[in-house]
Chains A and B, each alone.
Chain A
Amino acid sequence: DTAVSQTPKYLVTQMGNDKSIKCEQNLGHDTMYWYKQDSKKFLKIMFSYNNKELIINETVPNRFSPKSPDKAHLNLHINSLELGDSAVYFCASSQAGGLDTEAFFGQGTRLTVV
């Protein structure tokens, strides 16, 4: 069974469109994250949710809106897509309450905006 799964794996869309990436974890973790990996492979945190509550928002444009319907899901909706949004987006989860807990990552979603 996949621990953290993201859909879709690949997404190609035109500028100006709105798209969503879904993420689900079956590990029972309390905390979920979205990371963005740019073309130079740099991984940067975007959001962190703990029990459906937004904890970290790293000055991400308002066009990006995460939604957590329950603690097993954290979806990412992006409005008015721009060329610069092209990247690989990773969802991750971890158990809250310990710095030593491993963060488990999804397979990533490669978003290409044309």
Chain B
Amino acid sequence: AQTVTQSQPEMSVQEAETVTLSCTYDTSESDYYLFWYKQPPSRQMILVIRQEAYKQQNATENRFSVNFQKAAKSFSLKISDSQLGDAAMYFCAYRFSQGGSEKLVFGKGMKLTVNP
């Protein structure tokens, strides 16, 4: 079964500092994608960053970067220069093909607080 685990339910960081959110996943698939989504209090799900399993190079989007360790099935998100607007729930997600459709499985989420 494909599962995504976010072991830390909550974290906090000081504004302008760096924080790393951890995620591990379990799969027997060879082709898949990994995503981090952000859900602010508005409830909107916003894509932060994505990583293809075949790419060794870690994805980067401005202040957001990932540390993808395929052998360890680990996919952590690093937020640099944290801003107050980064406060949100963060969900790690894993996408694979099943029955002719792409299925997106989420971790349980982690609440990030940014302190001024």
Interface residues of A (CB under 8 A from B): 31, 33, 40-45, 48, 50, 55-56, 88, 90, 92, 94, 96, 98-103, 105, 107-108, 110
Q: Is the CB of B50 within 8 A of A102?
A: yes
Q: Is the CB of B103 within 8 A of A100?
A: no
Within 8 Å CB of B105, what residues of A?
45
Do A99 and B33 form a contact, CB below 8 Å, given A88-B43, A105-B44? yes
* One of B89, B96, B101 near A50 (C-beta < 8 A): B101
Q: Is the CB of A102 within 8 A of B47?
A: yes
Do A99 and B106 form a contact, CB below 8 Å, given A55-B100, A88-B43? no
Interface residues of B (CB under 8 A from A): 31-33, 39, 42-45, 47, 50, 52, 89, 91, 95-106, 108-109
Q: In whole angstroms, what is the CA distance A100 to B95 when docked?
A: 8
Within 8 Å CB of B43, what residues of A?
88, 107-108, 110
Q: Is the CB of B106 within 8 A of A50?
A: no
Q: Is the CB of A45 within 8 A of B104?
A: yes
Do A50 and B100 form a contact, CB below 8 Å, given A41-B89, A99-B31, A105-B44? yes
